[in-house]
Amino acid sequence: MKEIIVLAEHRRGELRDVTWEMLSKGRQLAESIGAEIGVALLGKGVNQLAEALKPKAHKVFLIEDERLEVYNSETYEKVLTQLITERKPLLTLIGHTAMGMDFAPGLAAHLKMPLATDCIGIEATGEAFSLTRQLYGGKVNATVSFLKKGPYMVTLRSGAFPVLEKEALPGEMVKLPSPLTDEGLARRFLQYVEAAIGEVDITQADILVSIGRGIKEAENIPIVKEFADAIGGTLSCSRPVVDKKWLPKDRQVGTSGKTVKPKVYIAIGISGAFQHVAGMKGAGTVIAINKDPKAPIFSVAQYGIVADLFKIVPVLKNKIKEFKQKS
Amino acid sequence: MNIIVCIKRVPETADADVSIGKSGKDIDKSGLAFDLNEWDSYAIEEAILLKEKLGGTVTVLSIGGEDSNESLRKCLAMGAEDAIRLTDPAFDGSDGFVTAKILAEAIRKIPYDLILTGTQAEDDGYGQVGVVLAELLGIPHAALVTRLEAQDKKVKVHRELEGGLEEVYEIDLPAVLTIQTGINEPRYVSIMGIRKVAKKEIKTFGVSDLNLKAEEVGLSGSDIQLEKIFLPPVGEGAEMLEGKPEEVALKVFDILKDKGGLA
């Protein structure tokens, strides 16, 4: 029987959301082509995670080894090479995450499997798949097809696929031997490093006023800071502002920064790349100010202002101060 | 330490009004400015910082037409010693896998201790080339590197994970590292700096120089092909607040008051 295998992604004892997203999409694909869905779990002492995965798949492939206690591209490549070579799934799904980006391209090249990365859509087309990807930082979408025969590997963008509730699957547990030996690794895990704790916790703020690439210079930040102060908001930002060292990392909203859920989120000069949106889509009300009317942030926001931030923000600050005094 | 940096020249689209080109397979690039891919600017800076500290040379490598010389010269002006451009009509349509294959064949001719690439390119965003390159060369790698310390015959790197977490690895050299933005502050290149390297030779290699066959590269060697591009579907979209700045300010004030955004 044809098979689709999803690689379960977990870190520090918890399955990551992308796992459920891939299982949901993978199941839909499997049903459309009469295939079974399997999930591969690599780790050590991960029985509980395996149990949690059971209802989402026909088979749970469990490979336990003390050398799999933490992720490492070298061990993952060896174990998955064995699994994919033996099972020959038509499709292997991996998350386009910090983990997937680090090993999936190498694994695909090693197995000579055609690979499409960072897909936001995937549909079965007979024996192959049609994919949707984004180009130019999300400004355009592309339909992409495979030129070679499967088995295929596809990495899916985290947060791009909904998790649908469906009846439980049998979840047969298949324990497989680990191919790993004590042979030394050229890449050795040392430790995790936690994010530094800053003076301000933006996840606790009711109002966030967030700046992006549009702020242009560090010297311009006070323009927005004064506005934030006027409405009692906390200053946060998107990635480019942190990359340029204009604000500390603890102010960053997005995939590699913080996930925030304020009552009001005001995005100023932020285009709305998916990595940013992933961190703020839980906000109550989103107001976006951007000079580009096509900026993706406007499809996330409830209210939009197409304007030059340097012209509109000072007016907003002064007027709101006035209104506050009157009311 | 001898370092190779793989770079790409890309159109700047972050602030541009992007439209679909006539072919339906790419954007209309007329009128767009081009520059060194943002991730690559951090990769070349990191290479030069390492060279300044440890000695050695930095060689930059790019696949592309003569236009790419502009980005290669920028890297020379930043402090790289050598620039090589890989160019051949047969390269057209190469996907991420083939791009890595072409780079790997060129790199086999050059002595190196470390290879740096950007984590991804701003245009096609595969995030694939550096990791495949390591696989093809049979050397270790790490993707999304946000900190790098060179030690004797190995490097200690931090990889960026989700939610602000990082993981630290020790990796034997030679290795490929894909560099994440924010790892350093890329130096400014003046027009004078570019002028100084304007005459510097940029070597070029094509398919026949690289132990490759034309059918192994370009679209015929690729795993995937692009069928068409389209503008992303817009959701319900925002209610646009229009009018004079004062009127917009009043509307914003009312929304803030209503939604709990005035403290």
∠ CA A311-A314-A316, rounded to 5°? 100
* Domain co-membership, A14 together with A137: yes
pLDDT digits (tens, 9 = 90+) for B202-211: 999 999 999 9
Looking up tokens 């790019």 gives B62
Residues B122, B36: Cα–Cα separation, whole Å: 10
Q: Tell me the longest C-alpha to C-alpha distance in chain A.
A: 74
pLDDT above 90 (res A321): no
**Residues of chain A found within 8 Å of residue B122, distances taken between Cβ atoms:** 136-137
Put simply, the answer to whether B238 touches A303 (Cβ < 8 Å) is yes
Least confident of A54-63, A197-206, A247-256, A297-306: A197-206
Query: pLDDT tens digits, residue range A68-116?
Result: 999 999 999 999 999 999 999 999 999 999 999 999 999 999 999 999 9
Can you tell me the distance from the alpha carbon of B162 to that of A17, in angstroms, rounded to the nearest whole number? 12
Residue A56 lies in a domain: yes
Residues A163 and A208 in one domain: no
* DSSP letter string, B24-59: SSSB--TT--EEE-HHHHHHHHHHHHHHHHH---EE
pTM equals: 0.95
Q: Please indicate, yes or no, if residue A274 is contained in any of the structural domains.
A: yes
CB nearest to B13's CB, from A139, A299, A306: A139
| Main-chain dihedrals φ then ψ at residue A185, nearest 5 degrees | -105, 145
What pLDDT, on the 0 to 100 scale, is given for residue A199? 81
Q: Does A149 touch chain B (CB under 8 A)?
A: no
Both A169 and A313 in one domain: the answer is: no
Together in a domain, A211 and A167: no
pLDDT at position A322 is 87
Q: What average pLDDT is seen over chain A?
A: 95
Give the gap in angstroms from C-alpha B136 to the nearest C-alpha of chain A: 8
Same domain, residue pair A52 and A94: yes
Q: How many CB atoms lie within 10 A of CB A6?
A: 31
- DSSP one-letter code for B85: E
pLDDT of residue A197: 79
Asked if residue A327 has pLDDT above 80, the reply is no
Q: Are A75 and A165 part of one and the same domain?
A: yes
Q: Which of residues 189-248 of B touch A (CB under 8 A)?
A: 219, 222-232, 234-241, 245-246, 248
Dist CA B184 CA A243 (whole Å): 8
User: Between helices A100-111 and B96-107, what is the axis angle to 10°?
Assistant: 80
The distance of Cα B195 from the centroid of its chain, to the nearest Å, equals: 24
Chain B positions touching A303 (Cβ under 8 A) are 238-241, 251-252, 255
CB A57 within 8 A of CB A37: yes
Query: pLDDT tier at B185 (50, 70, 90 boundaries)?
Result: very high
Q: Testing the interface with B: which of A11, A193, A310 to mutate, by most B Cβ within 10 A?
A: A193
The pLDDT of residue B261: 61
DSSP strand E in B165-253: where?
166-172, 175-179, 203-205, 224-230, 239-240
Confidence of residue B263 (pLDDT cuts 50, 70, 90): low
The mean pLDDT value for A46-50 works out to: 97
Q: Is B30 at the interface with chain A, CB within 8 A?
A: no
B21 reaches A (C-beta below 8 A): no
What DSSP string runs through A231-256? TT-EEEE-HHHHHTTSS-GGGBBSTT
Mean residue pLDDT across chain B: 95
**Residue A181 domain flag:** no
Q: In the A/B pair of chains, how many CB contacts fall below 8 A?
A: 300
pLDDT at site A8: 98
| A60 and A20 together in one domain | yes
Interface test with B, best of A187, A216, A281 (most B CBs within 10 A): A187
Which of A50-54, A123-127, B175-179 shows the lowest per-residue confidence on average (mean pLDDT)? A123-127
| B137 touching A (Cβ < 8 Å) | no
What's the confidence (pLDDT) of residue A326? 79
Contact at 8 Å (CB) between B89 and B117? no
Q: Which domain holds residue A122?
A: 3-175
Structure tokens belonging to residue B176: 């490929």
**Residue A9 maps to a domain:** yes
Enumerate residues 231 to 270 of chain A having a beta carbon within 8 A of any beta carbon in chain B: 231-233, 239-240, 242-245, 249-250, 252, 255-259, 263-264, 266
Please determine, for residue B67, whether its predicted confidence score (pLDDT) is greater than 90: yes
Both A89 and A171 in one domain: the answer is: yes
Task: Please give, rounded to a whole number of angstroms, the shortest distance from the CA of B199 to a CA of chain A.
Answer: 32
Q: Quick check: A4 and A35 in contact, CB under 8 A? A: yes
pLDDT of res. A323:
82
Residue B24: count of CB within 10 angstroms of its CB? 11
Tokens of A289: 């100010």
Chain A residues lying within 8 Å of B232, measured CB to CB = 134, 138-141, 296
- Please check the confidence at residue A169 and state whether its pLDDT lies above 90: yes
The beta-strand segments (E) located in B161-257 are 166-172, 175-179, 203-205, 224-230, 239-240
CB-based contact (8 Å) between A194 and chain B?
yes
Q: What is the pLDDT of residue A300?
A: 92
Give domain status of residue A182, yes or no. no
Which domains occur in chain B, in start order?
3-221 (3.40.50.620)
**Judgement on whether residues A116 and A236 belong to the same structural domain of the protein:** no
The residue length of chain B stands at 263
pLDDT at B233: 79
Residue A261 and residue A311 in one domain: yes
| pLDDT for A253 | 97
Count CB atoms within 10 A of the CB of residue A302.
18
Identify the pLDDT of residue B257. Answer: 87
Residue A191 lies in a domain: no
Total domains, chain A: 2
Residue A125 in this model has a pLDDT that exceeds 80: yes
Is residue A85 within 8 angstroms of chain B, CB to CB?
A: no
C-alpha distance from A165 to closest chain B C-alpha (Å)? 23
Q: Is B106 exposed, middle or buried (0-12, 13-18, 19+ CB in 10 A)?
A: buried
- Is B151 or A177 the better-scoring residue by pLDDT? A177
- For residue A86, what is the domain's CATH number? 3.40.50.620
Prior bond of B174 cis (ω within 30°): yes
